């Protein structure tokens, strides 16, 4: 199962729907893109700035993420030029009905290229794109 960054963050930091995702992903093999390395860090810093977590919680969540990656509990697919070209194609296929953001298109491209279905996302726009592209999603 491929996770977009919003779901990865829900597994690291308590959010209203974190339990839903924890339960749904129990026992699943999970993966994401190397994009998650920067997106998770950015999300944790943002949560700290907004007062949702403190410095200690941010550092602990980041360490859990790094541990999951190093132990292969969370596999990160490498980014390459094929993925970048695929993301462009995905944005074009979704245009104009689903205005995909760049990073969302890159996640969808990684999921599709690696055939790691379904994609698990909390983002309605990504679900709309997955539906249009016939990519299974949860």
Sequence ranges of the domains in the chain: 2-133
CB-based contacts of 59-66 (< 8 A; 24+ apart in sequence): 61/12, 61/13, 62/12, 64/12, 65/8, 65/12, 65/40
Structure-token match 């599709």, residue found: 112
Q: What's the confidence (pLDDT) of residue 91?
A: 98
Q: pLDDT (tens digit, 9 = 90+) per residue, 10-52? A: 999 999 999 999 999 999 999 999 999 999 999 999 999 999 9
Backbone φ/ψ region at 108: left (φ over 0), alpha (ψ -120 to 50), beta: alpha
| Segment 75-109, tens digit of pLDDT | 999 999 999 999 999 999 999 999 999 999 999 99
49-65: buried (b, 16+ CB within 10 Å) or exposed (e) per residue?
A: eeeebeeebbeebeeeb
Distance of CA 68 to the CA centre of its chain: 14
Q: Give pLDDT, residue 2.
A: 98
What is the distance in angstroms between the CA of the first residue and the CA of the last residue of the chain? 9
CATH architecture of 2-133: 3-Layer(aba) Sandwich (3.40)
Kind and range of the H or E run holding 70 = helix 55-70
């Amino acid at each position: 199962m491929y996770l977009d960054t919003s779901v990865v963050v829900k597994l690291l930091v308590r959010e209203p729907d974190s339990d839903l995702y924890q339960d749904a992903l129990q026992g699943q093999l999970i993966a994401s893109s190397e994009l998650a390395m920067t997106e998770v860090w950015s999300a944790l810093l943002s949560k700290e700035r907004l007062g949702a977590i403190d410095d200690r919680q941010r550092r602990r969540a980041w360490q859990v993420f790094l541990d999951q990656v190093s132990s292969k509990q969370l596999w990160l697919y490498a980014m390459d030029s094929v993925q970048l070209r695929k993301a462009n194609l995905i944005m074009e296929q979704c245009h104009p009905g689903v205005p995909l953001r760049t990073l969302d298109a890159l996640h969808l491209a990684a999921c599709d290229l690696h055939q790691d279905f379904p994609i698990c996302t909390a983002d309605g726009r990504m679900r709309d794109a997955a539906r249009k592209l016939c990519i299974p999603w949860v």
